[in-house]
């Protein structure tokens, strides 16, 4: 288990103080895969480094496996090598002059646990870790003779060899090509589930966050703006930042017509969606919906939930067709099946099922 409470981190620069982390709190349950997702400079890696002990926070507390490793109130600061963590850096940090085996064995042979474990036990742990990442057959291979994906797995094996209470992963897939990244997403997810290891993962890639995580925390300006299961965070964003960062979205301004009926009048037509009971007719709101939520109709039949528009652009992207629809002064995006492509300039009705809309 990992618990962070009211964590703050400030830097003093020539331009003044910079607040990298602003009162961040999170709890990762035992065996959970928890992802910090956000743009560059939002504070996610700084948070990870504070948990690892590589940064000294300004205030707050950090607890790993029921042990307080940092607390500003009690002046507690446990050094990194005593925090019972495993960490995979973005650069992997593989030693080129060592073999695969020696890379994985180094923390066990030279760390705090080295004096307590016989060489035979270290060898067993290393080979078990290498077997988990399917590299046991390459134990004697020099590190420079590995591919990028194999080096990434060596870094993973080194992090899990000591059986840490918490595994910290700092954008470990960013240096891989697209196909290898996809394969490694599945490998890492499968590995941590087999080990039942509490995992904190940092990334700016929404696909990694959505496909790998049990819970996602979206960070902006050093604070968590939304947290929840991947599906909930994606389909029900808390604000405009969450909606726009986590995939593409369409946002239309309007006013409430009927609360019970969920109707909203926009300048481009009427939409129907679930409205909070506190709303009242005439209230100004913003309605959002994802491009994949849109159903395009090419006939002129009226629908209860639709906007008239014209296809301004259509792009075939393999598994879908991405459309830009001109509503007249505003464009929205839609996704359609790849088997039929609607031509540009065609009049369409943009239909959005009410259950696929959300209100900001």
Longest Cα separation, the chain? 78
Cβ proximity of 27 and 65 under 8 Å: no
Q: How far is CA 12 from the centre of its chain?
A: 29
Neighbour tally for 344: CB within 10 Å = 12
Output 95 or 28, whichever has higher pLDDT. 28
Model pTM above 0.95: no
Give the per-residue pLDDT at 198: 96
Q: Percentage of the chain with pLDDT > 90?
A: 67
Per-residue pLDDT tens over the stretch 20-56:
999 999 999 999 999 999 999 999 999 999 999 999 9
Per-residue pLDDT tens over the stretch 133-144:
889 999 999 988
> What's the Cα-to-Cα distance from 167 to each of 180, 188, 251, 317, rounded to whole Å?
21, 11, 38, 36
Count of alpha carbons within 13 Å of 227, Cβ hemisphere only?
A: 13
Tokens standing for residue 6: 């009211």
CA gap 172, 50 in Å, rounded: 18
**Pair type for strands 33-37 and 198-203:** parallel
Give the per-residue pLDDT at 302: 53
Give the per-residue pLDDT at 303: 53
Give the per-residue pLDDT at 17: 85
Res. 203 pLDDT band, cuts 50 70 90: very high
Phi, psi (deg, nearest 5) at residue 131: -65, -35
How confident is the prediction for the chain on average, in pLDDT?
90
CA gap 334, 60 in Å, rounded: 44
Specify which of 45-49, 116-120, 128-132, 143-147 reaches the highest per-range mean pLDDT.
Answer: 45-49
Q: Tell me if residue 114 falls in helix, strand or coil.
A: helix
288 burial (CB, 10 Å; 0-12 / 13-18 / 19+) is buried
**Pair type for strands 85-88 and 166-170:** parallel
- Interval 60-68 mean pLDDT: 96
Structural domains of the chain, ranges and CATH numbers in brackets: 2-237 (3.40.50.300), 248-359 (2.40.50.100)
């Amino acid at each position: 288990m990992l618990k962070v409470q009211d964590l703050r981190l400030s830097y003093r620069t020539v331009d003044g103080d910079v607040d990298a982390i602003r009162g961040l709190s999170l709890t990762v349950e035992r065996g959970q895969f928890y992802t910090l997702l956000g743009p560059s400079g939002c504070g996610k890696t700084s948070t990870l480094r504070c948990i690892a002990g590589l940064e000294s926070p300004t205030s707050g507390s950090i607890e790993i496996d029921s042990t307080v490793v940092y607390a500003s109130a009690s002046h507690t600061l446990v050094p990194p090598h005593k925090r019972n963590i495993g960490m995979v850096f973005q650069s992997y940090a593989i030693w080129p002059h060592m073999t695969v085996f020696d890379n994985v064995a180094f923390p066990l042979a030279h760390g705090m646990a080295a004096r307590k474990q016989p060489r035979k036990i270290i060898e067993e742990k290393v080979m078990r870790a290498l077997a988990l990442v399917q590299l046991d057959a390459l134990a004697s291979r020099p590190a420079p003779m590995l591919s990028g994906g194999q080096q990434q797995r060596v870094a993973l094996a080194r992090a899990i060899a000591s059986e840490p209470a918490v595994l910290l992963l700092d954008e470990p897939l960013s240096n891989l090509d697209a196909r290898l990244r996809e394969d490694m997403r599945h490998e890492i997810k499968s590995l941590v589930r087999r080990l039942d290891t509490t995992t904190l993962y940092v990334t700016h890639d929404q696909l990694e966050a959505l496909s790998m995580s049990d819970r996602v925390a979206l960070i902006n300006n050093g604070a968590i703006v939304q947290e929840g299961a991947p599906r909930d965070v994606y389909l029900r964003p808390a604000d405009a930042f969450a909606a726009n960062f986590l995939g593409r979205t369409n946002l239309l301004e309007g006013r409430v017509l009927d609360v019970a009926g969920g109707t909203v009048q926009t300048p481009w037509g009427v939409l129907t969606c679930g409205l909070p009971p506190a709303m009242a007719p005439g209230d100004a709101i913003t309605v959002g919906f994802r491009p994949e939520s849109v159903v395009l109709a090419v006939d002129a039949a009226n629908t209860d939930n639709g906007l008239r528009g014209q296809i301004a652009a259509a792009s075939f992207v393999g598994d879908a067709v991405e459309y830009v629809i001109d509503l007249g002064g505003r464009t929205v995006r839609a996704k359609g099946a790849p088997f039929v492509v609607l031509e540009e300039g065609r009049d369409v009705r943009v239909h959005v099922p009410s259950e696929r809309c959300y209100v900001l």
